[in-house]
Structure 1
Amino acid sequence: MTAADLQKYVGAHEGDATYVESCWAEAASLVAQFVGDATVPAEVIRRATLEVGSELYHRRSAPNGVAQFASLDGTAVRVARDPMVGAYPLLTRYVGGGFA
């Protein structure tokens, strides 16, 4: 997977390519740091990176961590502060729980 895959996944315009590439690079770094030396299937790494990249991309449209969606009641939704929130369930079974 590449930044182009993230761009398709989030529905970003061509004008956002630089921002998408930045989100992809940061997502890859965060996932790699979390995984460390653990053996994780490549497909799981790719999916986790895509999820983290999506979280990072959508933060731009969520000022102060709040996203507003067109709904009948106008309810605001808080965006996760940790961009890894979507990746943890995918990766934890391979990385372990961190108990000493």
Structure 2
Amino acid sequence: MSAADLSAYVNSTATADEPFVAACWAEAEELVAAYVGLNVVPAVTLHRATLEVAAELFHRRNAPGGITQFAALDGPSPVRMARDPMLGAYPILDRFLPAGLA
């Protein structure tokens, strides 16, 4: 459970990406830990939430100004990325946190 998991998840094979992947993983771990606090969350769930947050942080590099593009049949479609990198982790973690405290 490390930056290597993130590298595989985002399909990053470039050696030059390794420091950035490690930085994204470390930041994601801090964000998830701060959100969870002292609450008990299964390790597998924490890993998945951290992976989702780290992938979001990794992909922001290719989205200047928060806009990314995806291929579509009628040409590239601009899509605004979420401003909060934790957006994908909230539904994963919330079931383990007390209501109203998250």
Q: Is the pair's TM-score, using the shorter chain for normalization, greater than 0.5?
A: yes
Q: Which string of whole-angstrom CA distances, capped at 9 and with x for unpartnered residues, describes residues 3-57 of structure 1? A: 0110010011221000000000000000000000001000000000000000000
Map of 1:75-86 to 2, 5 A cutoff?
75-86=77-88
Q: Which string of whole-angstrom CA distances, capped at 9 and with x for unpartnered residues, describes residues 62-95 of structure 1? A: 0110111122232111111100000000101111
Which whole-Å CA distance do the structure 2 matches of 1:97 and 1:82 have between them? 20
Which one of the candidate residues 85, 89, 100 is aligned to 1:98? 100
Which whole-Å CA distance do the structure 2 matches of 1:68 and 1:75 have between them? 5
**2:62 partner SS:** coil
Which whole-Å CA distance do the structure 2 matches of 1:24 and 1:55 have between them? 10
**Aligned residue number for residue 29 of structure 1:** 30
TM-score, structure 1 length as denominator? Answer: 0.94
**Aligned residue number for residue 40 of structure 2:** 39
Alignment length, in residue pairs? Answer: 99
My pick for the range that moved more, 35-44 or 66-75, is: 66-75
Which whole-Å CA distance do the structure 2 matches of 1:96 and 1:60 have between them? 34
TM-score, structure 2 length as denominator? Answer: 0.92
Which whole-Å CA distance do the structure 1 matches of 2:71 and 2:82 have between them? 19
Structure 1 stretches of 4+ with a deviation exceeding 3 A read none
Q: Aligned Cα RMSD in Å?
A: 1.0
Work out whether 1:7 is the aligned partner of 2:7: yes
Structure 2 residues without counterparts, runs of 5 or longer? none
Work out whether 1:53 is the aligned partner of 2:36: no
Structure 1 residues without counterparts, runs of 5 or longer? none
